[in-house]
Amino acid sequence: MPLHICHGKLAQNDNESGFSMKNPGDMPVQISVNYDAVMKTLLRVEAALAERGLKCHSGSALGSLFASIRRLVNSSDKLDDKKWRATFLRATEAIRIVNAVEAVLDDAGAKEAIHRITNSNMNLSTRQESRGKDALWELDLYRRFKLGEIPVHFAEPDLVVSLGAKFGEYAVACKKVYSVDNAPKRAKEGCNQLKAHGRPGVIAFNLDDILPETSVLIVSTEVQLKQRLDEINKKFINDNERHFLSMGERGACDGVLVSTSVIADVSDMSPPVNVIRSSAAWTNRREPDVLGRFNAFIECHDRIFETCG
């Protein structure tokens, strides 16, 4: 059974400030990954990590996740439904990590992020804070830009994206949120990072770890899934809008990007179990140069989905 990774599109609207998806009718785009390709990727990543002295032992958290891929590929026909489902869910976490790590292997600036992943608790289904999961958000976003053929590299504050000759380099401070209460603190940290390194840019929040600690989001239709993910992103933006407004008024950042990913069981999708990602953007800045580069950044992010689709 192939794993399908779905991405929702995002865009900035033309209101004074606020959230929007690109089109109210947008549905997720599916990317199919077969088991043979996954195993080849896993072997490449394990070899690359070993060359860097970062071998994942079977007893480590990451080694256990990697083992779940092998178990799914080699023994899925021998597992009962309950064990297969548990193995499949673990393997989806491992596949996400493997793909993210492979995407950054040739970027020397990713060395520290990779090291954090190999030495941290990488159980993505729990809500435990982890420096490795912080790093995975950086790698995951990096990979998205690479898939969209957007020039990106690791540099302070976290990532730097090229917006072309007109707008130049654009900074992204990546912030993983572990609780609703610490969102303002994470926003402040992002602003401080942008200020310290003197580049214009955005704060990119990942919300996976403020969702309920459950294995799978179960919905009946693709439309319901989209609505649910939109609600999560929009609620986060609305709940923190006063902080974002203050950041914008101080010129601390151009805007925010919000991303949520879940494993979802959707009755009207084939296959029904998917990894789903949805994103949203917000700004209250109206200076022509700031708004121009922010919209250019969002257009680059949209291009990711157009390329991957």
Beta strand segments in the chain, E = 3-7, 29-33, 152-154, 159-162, 169-176, 201-206, 217-219, 255-266, 273-282
pLDDT tens digits for 68-95?
Answer: 999 988 887 788 888 888 888 888 889 9
**Tens-of-pLDDT digits for all 309 residues of the chain?**
333 333 443 322 223 333 333 444 555 444 445 778 889 999 999 999 999 888 787 778 888 899 999 998 888 778 888 888 888 888 888 999 999 999 999 999 999 999 999 989 898 888 899 999 999 999 999 999 998 899 999 999 999 999 999 999 999 999 999 999 999 999 999 999 999 988 899 999 999 999 988 668 899 998 999 899 999 999 999 999 999 999 999 998 999 999 999 888 888 887 777 788 899 999 999 999 999 999 999 999 877 765 454
Asked if 230 and 176 touch (Cβ cutoff 8 Å), the reply is: no
